[in-house]
Structure 1
């Protein structure tokens, strides 16, 4: 069996640990640019919705990546509407939903009176069913705000920075001033830490979920084309739509990576679903679930995820988190992309060079 066949998921999961280690060393040797620092290689096991994968994580230039085995016959896309979803959760609470402008816009188009209306909505906002070949790949574990590279963490309680101090040196004092301002007593009663902080072509900060730390990034105001040029210089690329759907959902015949459960508060499985939604998928990737940003693909006309407010209708609120969701929205023109609105995830495809 040749090198590439062994990296197919059906073969990969049958290999011994020693064989997997040998193959992964070859991947790092032949497919990662010598300009990129490799560190912290770790064997990991992930499982989601009954799908298990034993694979490797590593850091490339101090950013976490995971190896995803390939699949020559991956089934992607969706054409089953709400089939498999709990019907009692699909039906919306009329009083709550009909106060939502988003819901009313969709209701005007689809009606939402009978189940077939919901089928039409789901099928219109998911990609076509198809069989594709997806090569093995190294994929960034966390998507980053566009135009940024992670340099460290800033702790608001201690005002300490941890990370690449050389990279942060040009703007660290300014950050400390912004986050520890001199305030009058009256001002201090109303002042709050900002959710994010940005200076174009210098830095971008984003508050963590626990509100005690900020992720600190270097920032450059990039267009989609400029971003591609920058990451190509070090041997990376952005995921195609096929690669993204496979990496996020594993090619499963479920509309969401965690299964067919919605995030309705009426569901007895709500807590379990939320934990699966926020945690790593079957390959170890973390997917943004805030519905406040798009994730870029290689094609500027294809954006994954969505920016949408909750409507009170579970299927509208959950569908943007589907592995196969398509918003129909595309990047307009070649203006710099805002890190508050767009994420990007780097990849290296493990394919035979021409």
Structure 2
């Protein structure tokens, strides 16, 4: 029998590769939709800032997933210590004033003002139990959904058969030609090559409201990250202000380093959908973009603008989500 405690840190990190593999195969057996193909099960090791993390990875219906162990009483949110206000990579020496859309002009010239700013735009310190997760390594645009695997040569498909039936009815014989994309008035279908010759991951473009998208994903056994889970996965379980450490950077990397190997964009204005339709993470600086701190703080795991994408005078960011499978032994789905 699977021991749930072994799926939490630090117990998971103390297991041998063989022990992790055996537990992982049980997770795939009991928690993944049996209609979805699972291939390329393999160990993975990620090194970030000299620290190693070993886990297991799998392809599910053409998307790569990494197992992220759970954490009981994970430290979330950010506690401002006072040291950050002295970090030169975060603060400009000029006297430019930040303009918050809901507050009076907020100067950042004193340590107290800077501490207030960091407190205003980060979540409160707290603890939460994080379940073990299978997390898609790559995010998907919010208007796209992975349907499954399709082989045009044999016309074989595995995945969401209900959506695939709609696709076949809509595009007919074009499906077996496997173009890069098929665009019709009703839907757009994308063919993403996999490592198997002649096999494709099918994606369908659907402008679904967030709640409808999560309900659609749930029918296949998937969800998206909850707000607490987002903080945990992006931070890698660390309590530093940024995933790369406590200090700001002179130049942002193209991809935010992640201790679990999950990819989060370092493009400004990328917002991540969570299970709470009113909570989006990452995103955009809401206070004018005049200082270094405004450009970098949205990449903190604990950044919280309190704003919805495209609300008011803010620009509409690129909206994405990571598909997840929760390994929960409770009756509820957390």
Both structures adopt the same fold (TM-score exceeding 0.5): yes
List alignment gaps of at least 5 residues for structure 2. Answer: 156-166, 192-200
1:129 aligns to 2:115 (yes or no): no
> 1: distance between equivalents of 2:15 and 2:74?
20
List alignment gaps of at least 5 residues for structure 1. Answer: 153-162, 177-196, 206-214, 265-269, 334-338
> 2: distance between equivalents of 1:262 and 1:198?
46
Residue in structure 2 matched with residue 225 of structure 1 by the alignment: 211
Residue in structure 2 matched with residue 211 of structure 1 by the alignment: none
Residue in structure 2 matched with residue 115 of structure 1 by the alignment: 111
Q: How does 1:8-19 map to 2 (within 5 A)?
A: 8-19=8-19
Which of 217, 221, 224 matches 1:238? 224
Q: 1:199 to 1:114 in 2, by over 3 A?
A: farther
> 2: distance between equivalents of 1:344 and 1:7?
24
SS at match of 1:58: strand
How far is 1:217 from its partner?
A: 4.4
**CA deviation profile, 1:289-327 (whole Å, cap 9, x unmatched):** 112231000000110011349824111110000011111
1:298 aligns to 2:298 (yes or no): no
1:323 aligns to 2:296 (yes or no): no
> 2: distance between equivalents of 1:174 and 1:129?
46
> 2: distance between equivalents of 1:174 and 1:13?
41
> 2: distance between equivalents of 1:33 and 1:72?
26
Q: 1:21 to 1:216 in 2, by over 3 A?
A: closer
Residue in structure 1 matched with residue 142 of structure 2 by the alignment: 146
How far is 1:47 from its partner?
A: 2.3
How far is 1:84 from its partner?
A: 4.1
Q: How does 1:46-65 map to 2 (within 5 A)?
A: 46-65=46-65
> 1: distance between equivalents of 2:53 and 2:263?
15
SS at match of 1:25: helix
1:346 aligns to 2:323 (yes or no): yes
Residue in structure 1 matched with residue 4 of structure 2 by the alignment: 4
> Greater relative contact order (Cα 8 A, min sep 6): structure 1 or 2?
1
**CA deviation profile, 1:244-280 (whole Å, cap 9, x unmatched):** 111111221201111022133xxxxx4xxx44x6254
Q: 1:68 to 1:198 in 2, by over 3 A?
A: farther
> 1: distance between equivalents of 2:187 and 2:181?
14
> 2: distance between equivalents of 1:2 and 1:150?
29
> 1: distance between equivalents of 2:113 and 2:185?
46
SS at match of 2:10: helix
Kindly tell me the number of residue pairs found equivalent between the two proteins.
297
> 1: distance between equivalents of 2:257 and 2:89?
24
Residue in structure 2 matched with residue 74 of structure 1 by the alignment: 74
TM-score normalized by structure 1? 0.73
How far is 1:2 from its partner?
A: 6.0
> 2: distance between equivalents of 1:122 and 1:199?
46
How far is 1:331 from its partner?
A: 6.3
SS at match of 1:94: coil
TM-score normalized by structure 2? 0.78
Higher normalized helix content (fraction of residues): 1
> 2: distance between equivalents of 1:216 and 1:33?
17
User: Contact (CA 8 Å) 2:68, 2:260: kept in 1 or not?
Assistant: yes
Q: 1:340 to 1:257 in 2, by over 3 A?
A: closer
Residue in structure 1 matched with residue 289 of structure 2 by the alignment: 311
How far is 1:143 from its partner?
A: 1.1
User: Contact (CA 8 Å) 2:274, 2:280: kept in 1 or not?
Assistant: yes
Q: 1:105 to 1:172 in 2, by over 3 A?
A: farther
Residue in structure 2 matched with residue 92 of structure 1 by the alignment: 92
RMSD, aligned CA = 3.5
